[in-house]
Structure 1
Amino acid sequence: MTAAEHGPGIQLGSVQETLLIPLYGRAVDAGRRDSVLGDARAAELVASLDYDFTRFDGLPSLTGAVLRTALFDRWVTDFLTAYPAGTIVELGAGLNTRYERLDNGRARWFDLDLPYVAALRRAFFSDTPRRTTIATSVTETAWPDVVTAQGTGPYFFAAEAVLPFLDEAGARHTIGLLADHFPGALLALDTAGPAFIAAQGHHDALGKVDARMRWACTGPDQLAQWFPDTRVLASHTLSTPPAKMYEELPAAYQQLLDGLAAQRLPQVEEYRLNLVRLP
């Protein structure tokens, strides 16, 4: 496994290195006059890390990562509007800054990731009475008890750019953990189809790192096959976001999405952003 150093004693494995791609996307977006996320904290993190982010300069996937995060943000915002004192759990949190963008002063937040990623997070983020870092794998069976002991429902789970890097058994096991411990919870996740998985070596960003997605999922309906009574609430490609989100995007982003939609590229059409309600 190739590792990239990010400060004394802190290393990221090949899969975890991918967390730097969306971080850089948010940082680049923050420097635009027509910024979608306005994530100034991401720009601060990029400036603080000892890493050559220029390898990702100009990649279309940076914009895709920003749009994915923007859609997940909308789903979290809708949840917090309905349940201001609910609980948000970031699965594979990486260096996500959703708390900084969306916290309402009442919700309970958990940021879960592998121990060496959690160590990197702790270099920049501190736990508070309403925000807790959990250093473990999403596939471990003990962490749901930590969440239920300290948080209260309803629950929203954000698994952004996480589950596709597991194999199918790992993804099914993780979603099963959620269904068993948090029935009726909301889960936002991305899925990658077989053609996307097969061609990812030519992907503009993934082609620059060693990590590879492994779970080939045809779409959120597969979750309903695994766990009956799962409800698919929304499913979008990057080129077809919700109409309201599209209307609020800067013109440059709209033109980009229009072009992608017209091309119907497999790497775009087979990559989906989904919101489901667990049984």
Structure 2
Amino acid sequence: MTGRVDFSGVQSTMLVTLYLRALESRSEDSILRDHAAAEAVRRIDYDWRKLQQPGLAGNRFGVALRAKQLDDWAAGFLRRNPDATVLQLGCGLDSRAFRLDLPPGVRWFDVDLPDVVELRRDLYPDADGYRTIGASVTDPGWLAGIPADRPVLVIAEGLLMYLPTVEVERLLRRITDRFRGGELIFDGVAPWVAGFTQRLPERLRRGYPPYLTPLRASRDVERWDPRLRYVEDVAVTSQFAKIPDRTARAAHRLMSRSPALRDWLRLVRAEFGTSADG
């Protein structure tokens, strides 16, 4: 078992998503089959009873659908670019590098704050081509150590919405400055969701930070960095058919019929520079 963990602020959200991915993986018809998450929950010394709240368990399907779509996009990019570099920004305790069947030539970098990376090193094994970097993603220094000689896949799950827009723009422009071409895949929340979290009193947010940069339209990514080109987007609720639980599937189907609720969380794929898609 690892040392006791009690993160707060943005970092606390990674414990929630890890717990929900582990919970979802216990189902026979699991969407994500993230067994590494289940093992990590078993090994972390944390009072998981804090997360056994009414209604929270139902969120496991949305978390799994989001991760599965990003997994599928990542797998597609790596099939087209088997020698790519992958940057997973604000990786938290995500096990994507171990969930995916990576081509042997891939270089994978998981980036997060030093205390998160220290915990990751206790939980996940070393692997050829895999490396962790303990740094804030908004610190320009860490990127200088990443070789820029290959196409790059940038994964930003549960990250950009927590950063001020100016920091989002700086981060993306540093990446497109450094690499000749690649893709960015990320998630974003609707403006009404961000506004709600900003107006919510601290005591009701229970330590969770507000969303600072909403996704007004999927092509916002082109405004954040004009070198990025929008390719496609997916509303998480629109994937309701993949949910094995009948009640949860019906709830997500109902949400998908309302534009505001359907688009509360969207996943976006964008590209820049030279593209292997032709």
TM-score normalized by the length of structure 1: 0.85
Query: Aligned partners of 2:7 and 2:82: how far apart in 1?
Result: 34
Q: Which residue of 1 aligns with 2:45?
A: 50
Once the two structures are TM-superposed, the CA of residue 110 in structure 1 deviates from its matched residue by: 0.6
Q: Which residue of 1 aligns with 2:134?
A: 135
Query: Aligned partners of 1:26 and 1:89: how far apart in 2?
Result: 21
What is the SS of the residue equivalent to 2:78? helix
Once the two structures are TM-superposed, the CA of residue 207 in structure 1 deviates from its matched residue by: 3.8
Q: Is the deviation greater in 72-81 or in 46-55?
A: 46-55
What is the SS of the residue equivalent to 2:238? coil
Aligned with residue 185 of structure 1, among 178, 182, 186: 182
Once the two structures are TM-superposed, the CA of residue 11 in structure 1 deviates from its matched residue by: 5.1
Please say if 1:21 is aligned against 2:16. yes
Structure 1: runs of 5+ lacking an equivalent? 1-5
What is the SS of the residue equivalent to 2:82? coil
Please say if 1:156 is aligned against 2:150. no
Map of 1:7-86 to 2, 5 A cutoff?
7-8=3-4, 12-57=7-52, 58-59=55-56, 60-86=58-84
AA of the residue aligned to 2:90:
G
Check 1:208–1:260 CA distance in 2 against 1; reply closer, same or farther (3 A cut): farther
2:31/2:242 contact within 8 Å kept: no
Q: Which residue of 2 aligns with 1:212?
A: 210
What is the SS of the residue equivalent to 1:37? coil
Once the two structures are TM-superposed, the CA of residue 87 in structure 1 deviates from its matched residue by: 1.7
Query: Aligned partners of 1:148 and 1:262: how far apart in 2?
Result: 45
Query: Aligned partners of 2:218 and 2:139: how far apart in 1?
Result: 23
What is the SS of the residue equivalent to 1:96? coil
What is the SS of the residue equivalent to 1:156? strand
Query: Aligned partners of 2:94 and 2:70: how far apart in 1?
Result: 12
Q: Which residue of 2 aligns with 1:91?
A: 89
Query: Aligned partners of 1:105 and 1:226: how far apart in 2?
Result: 31
AA of the residue aligned to 2:3:
G
Q: Which residue of 1 aligns with 2:120?
A: 121
Q: Is the deviation greater in 16-25 or in 252-261?
A: 252-261
Q: Which residue of 2 aligns with 1:271?
A: 265
Once the two structures are TM-superposed, the CA of residue 126 in structure 1 deviates from its matched residue by: 3.9
What is the SS of the residue equivalent to 2:146? helix
Q: What percent of counterpart residues are identical? A: 29
Check 1:209–1:67 CA distance in 2 against 1; reply closer, same or farther (3 A cut): farther
Query: Aligned partners of 1:247 and 1:196: how far apart in 2?
Result: 24
Q: Is the deviation greater in 10-19 or in 53-62?
A: 53-62
2:157/2:187 contact within 8 Å kept: yes
Once the two structures are TM-superposed, the CA of residue 24 in structure 1 deviates from its matched residue by: 1.1
Once the two structures are TM-superposed, the CA of residue 249 in structure 1 deviates from its matched residue by: 5.2
AA of the residue aligned to 2:124:
F
What is the SS of the residue equivalent to 1:210? coil
Once the two structures are TM-superposed, the CA of residue 192 in structure 1 deviates from its matched residue by: 1.9
2:8/2:207 contact within 8 Å kept: no
Query: Aligned partners of 1:54 and 1:219: how far apart in 2?
Result: 37
What is the SS of the residue equivalent to 2:266? strand
Query: Aligned partners of 2:100 and 2:150: how far apart in 1?
Result: 18
Query: Aligned partners of 1:119 and 1:13: how far apart in 2?
Result: 16
Q: Which residue of 2 aligns with 1:3?
A: none
AA of the residue aligned to 1:160:
E
AA of the residue aligned to 1:182:
F
TM-score normalized by the length of structure 2: 0.85
2:172/2:224 contact within 8 Å kept: no
Check 1:90–1:169 CA distance in 2 against 1; reply closer, same or farther (3 A cut): same
Query: Aligned partners of 2:169 and 2:95: how far apart in 1?
Result: 27
What is the SS of the residue equivalent to 1:38? coil
What is the SS of the residue equivalent to 1:62? helix
AA of the residue aligned to 1:100:
F
AA of the residue aligned to 2:160:
L
Once the two structures are TM-superposed, the CA of residue 142 in structure 1 deviates from its matched residue by: 2.0
